[in-house]
Amino acid sequence: MNWIQTYEDVLAMSDEEDKLYERLELWNTIEDIFELDNENELYWRERAIREKANTEFRLGNEEKATKIIEDYLNIKPEWTWGYIEMADWYLDKRDNKHYNLEKAKEILLRAEHIEGIEEVDAVLERLWDIYKELNDKDNIKIYATKIGIEE
């Protein structure tokens, strides 16, 4: 798997459309070869979902990207990294078209309220960062407390 990771890293750094389509093909091939539906391959299955969704988003297919993740969240709603992946699409200040703190916040608040959510601290930290960016002093304090930071 090491060479695949290196190849994927090279493709992920590119914004060229043909390389992004090549990245989608790579993840489709990985799914086929490694039978990612097997419970022993959970990390790779979830990674494939995130990478394919991220690539679709970068190709301008926002609805398709969201559907890829939402379909898996319907099966496993406590999957933190699906929510984080979607929220991160709207946190990139370099992407003027999609930068939207309110949309990112909405996604993460949805995640925070999922019973049994995995790695909730990752969600709470991102919410704290968003509230700092929004200069929402009340929520900065609330989320600082939730993640154990003194404000």
pLDDT in tens, 114-146: 999 999 999 999 999 999 999 999 999 999 999
Give one word for 135, left, alpha or beta, with left for phi > 0 and alpha for psi -120 to 50. left
Q: How confident is the model at residue 151 (pLDDT cuts 50, 70, 90)?
A: low
The structure's pTM equals 0.86
Which DSSP string corresponds to 99-127? --HHHHHHHHHHHHTSTT-TTHHHHHHHH
How far is the C-alpha of 64 from the C-alpha of 77, rounded, in Å?
A: 18
Confidence band of 80 (pLDDT split at 50, 70, 90): very high
Residue 67 reports pLDDT greater than 80: yes
